Chains A and B, each alone.
Chain A
Amino acid sequence: MSPAQYVDQQVSRAKFDREIAEYRQLESDYLRRGWLLVRAEFPNVLVVLAAPQLSPAAIVTGVAFDYTNYDMQPPSVRLVHPFTAEPYKAKDLPTVLMRSVEAGAPPIPGLQLPLGAQARFIAQQPLMQSYGPDDTPFLCLAGVREYHDHPGHSGDAWELHRRSGAGRLVRLLETISKYGVQPISEYQITLQPRIAGFAQREVPS
């Protein structure tokens, strides 16, 4: 549910309109990357992200933005079903936006590195976070309302990111596309063979 608009609506609307106008200006570039802006009506935007690198191309996810109170508040961002705009539950997410990050080295007994060498540990971490499979997950990223509203991120206030454009439409789409769509290289197919009976070489007379 959208929060109440308490910022002067003209201000939020003007900033929202700028986001949409700039997007429209380069829409053909974005379309080639598989971004389809299907609805933009203040304060909501729905963009469908497809993977044009696949053949046939596939729709990966919808992304719903809510720019209520922008940019006093960052936008809300949800991954949603592309045709119903219903937010995905964690268990139904088509992508969790997995990213590689450098992680602290765990203690490895007996590990001896040559002089001057350093071990780098890379961990994989989803940007979509939730507490359970039936929760609506949130995008754990500075510039997103759900991130800044989370008590675990009270030390990383929106005001620290506001001037860098962290909540801008294209920036958020770039991030979702980078981790959720661009890495897709092919369809993953699982086949489950079932024994349906016996085949016979011939039917004896």
Chain B
Amino acid sequence: MAILLLADHDHAGLSGQTAKTLTAALQIGGDVHILVAGPNARPAAEAAARLAGVAKVLLTDSGTFEHVLAEPLADLIVSLAPGYDTILAAATSTGKNVMPRVAALLDVAQVSDIIEVLAPDIFKRPIYAGNAIQTVQTTDAIRVITVRTAAFAATAGGAAVPIEPVAAVAERGLASFVDETASISDRPELASARVIISGGRALGSLEKFNEVILPVADKLGAAVGASRAAVDAGYAPNDWQVGQTGKIVAPQLYIAVGISGAIQHLAGMKDSKVIVAINKDVDAPIFQIADYGLVADLFEALPELEKAL
């Protein structure tokens, strides 16, 4: 049977997470249809249609989906569900919001955050902040899955496939959009960055965070991350939090600065290819997983690093 993949997009373009989710879908096997929902989302649909291995793209340009609210989006996916045996999405804030709703409406379990496909119905997923890996087999007729995209490479581009319209669903008016404060930045996104530099509680203030972390990030063309402690203290915005309950990343290079290395933080970055830790405490747990550790005061080391790059 076929696989329905919910695209992650901002209408004008497709997020890089979709091509990674597609890789997981293709490993499960079957015709993959990508669903793009949103007014003015044709550019995103066109980008989806050019991903290798996709059979077709489904597009609804109904205004109902402008802000990707979970309630109507789940209803839309459920209306399409009879044609599919697998429905999946990236484990983004949208995927996490919508997919459990879909699963419950279909009376099936959801498999969250898969990191490996062993068979069409058997997956690996982390539990306990990644301190254990479970292998689970689904027994439901329809499999609802979210994909941890940091664990999958992106599918390459291919020849364009057709884009078909799908009917919108009735809006039940359960929730409405009020406003959004998007953090606009010229820096790469955490989810797709090749290099990430993250700051922790040791930065001490928003001003200091900006003063010492950002210049190094700019030199490296890096995305910026933060520990929960730094976000809680207001040194960095919430969407920079890396960890068990924040973003899961796996860049080529992750530089942790003034971060102790709590298991909740490690859960979000320990699959990075190369890890650098800068911390003044030689016993900080972060050094146990770092490839390169520098025991130093970050307020001296970072300006020096910026000059050396």
A binds B: no
Residues on A lying within 8 angstroms of B by beta carbon are none
